[in-house]
Amino acid sequence: MRDVTLVRGDGIGPEVVTATMQVLEAAGAKLHWIEFKAGLNAVSEGKAVLPPDLLESFEHTGVCFKGPVTTPVGAGFSSVNVALRRRFELFANLRPVYNLPNVRSRFDNVDLVIVRENTEGLYSGLEHEVVPGVVESLKIATEKASTRIAKFAFDYASRLGRRKINVIHKANILKLSDGLFLRCARDVARNYPGVQFADTIVDNACMQLVMNPQQFDVLLLENLYGDIVSDLCAGLVGGLGLVAGANLGERHAMFEAVHGSAPDIAGKGIANPTAVMIAGEMMLRHLEQREAADRLRGALLAVYADGQHLTGDVGGKAGTEEFTKAVLSRLR
Ligand code: ATP
């Protein structure tokens, strides 16, 4: 059994995470959940947005499985996601984006991986009012973090036999910050002759992605571009219900869906749990529980290939429960 720190999250979080926990168990995963609340759920119980016992647990287990957590809007609340990523130096955000069978989408044969720098850029949260009516928001880029994420991307590409890394930037305008990010990536690329290297300006990259996404393989982006382009890429293959991500540091890893808490559909039983299930599969691979990961993946693909129990967001008629039952039936 492997201890895993668990946060079901809020909005659709509890629905999709609970569904995934059932599926993980049926796939034969050896996990022992240690559960905590965070965000709105924690605040409504009079606790801190990010309770200290959750942090202690994650420090100890090294692995966190997390549903979407809403950070209350207003002064004094900093984002739970940003805080977790920063505190545990989860510097790499890895998001594979690929087509699933029977999902209506604009493109076939999309198979790309987003590598997003998770700790710097505009997410450093350094904003201040200079004088009334004028604010400044600081975009931070360091050689250390830019080189670290570039190395991560190239190591990942080499290990998984990926052919090309495309660094996405706006170095023509942001000459210092994006210039540094691009230069570090270029320097790292020299040590990986087996992986092709290209760079594309972010606005052009967005157009290229929506016209011909198959030309891309691994995308390397700083924090904000990574956030925006992730949602765009999810849209290429059928939406936010399908794309998961790993947040990886030297000693800690956190797995979650790319989507947020989707309050518009929370409690209706219609959320698609696929993204969180794929996050579960990624976690199993990280924990080297490969057999369970393969079983989970096989069951998910079989349900999509069958196409009879898909959720509304991908063109089906099933709710969360019916979809989950279909996955479970292929695991039992
Ligand atoms: P955040 O800012 O926290 O990332 P967001 O504003 O981007 O959140 P999401 O919560 O990610 O919004 O959801 C955007 C929309 O996508 C939702 O309104 C919902 O309709 C749809 N959506 C997101 N996740 C799912 C899902 N798992 N199943 C079905 N629809 C989803």
Q: For residue 23, what pLDDT band results from cuts at 50, 70 and 90?
A: very high
98 is catalytic: no
- Give the tokens for residue 127: 């904003």
3-state SS assignment for residue 66? strand
In the chain the domains, ranked by start, together with CATH numbers, are 1-90+240-332 (3.40.718.10), 106-236 (3.40.718.10)
227 is catalytic: yes
Contact 312, 53 (CB under 8 A): no
* pLDDT at 75 (0 to 100): 54
Pocket of ligand 1 (CB under 6 A): 12, 16, 240-241, 259-262, 264-265, 271-272, 275, 313
Describe the chain by its helix, strand, coil percentages, rounded to 5.
Answer: 45, 20, 35
42-77 per-position pLDDT tens digit: 888 888 888 999 999 999 999 999 999 987 676 566
Asked whether the whole model's pTM tops 0.75, one would answer yes
- Give the tokens for residue 130: 């200079």
Ligand 1 atom showing the smallest separation from residue 271 Cα: 28
- The CA-atom distances, in angstroms, between 259 and each of 9, 13, 94, 130, 227 are 12, 10, 14, 34, 11
Ligand 1 atom showing the smallest separation from residue 231 Cα: 7
- Give the tokens for residue 295: 């079983």
Between CA 19 and CA 95 the distance in angstroms is: 21
**Which one from 123, 156, 225, 304 is the annotated catalytic residue?**
123
Ligand 1 pocket mutation, candidates 12, 259, 323, criterion most atoms within 8 A of CB = 259
What is the 14 CA–ligand 1 centroid distance (Å)?
14
* pLDDT at 77 (0 to 100): 65
- Residue with CA at minimum distance from ligand 1 atom 3: 260
What is the 273 CA–ligand 1 centroid distance (Å)?
12
Show Cβ contacts of residue 186 under 8 Å, excluding neighbours closer than 6 positions: 167, 197, 199
90-144 per-position pLDDT tens digit: 999 999 999 999 998 989 999 999 999 999 999 877 899 999 999 999 999 999 9
What is the torsion angle, in degrees rounded to the nearest 10, for the CA atoms of residue 185, residue 186, residue 192 and residue 195?
90
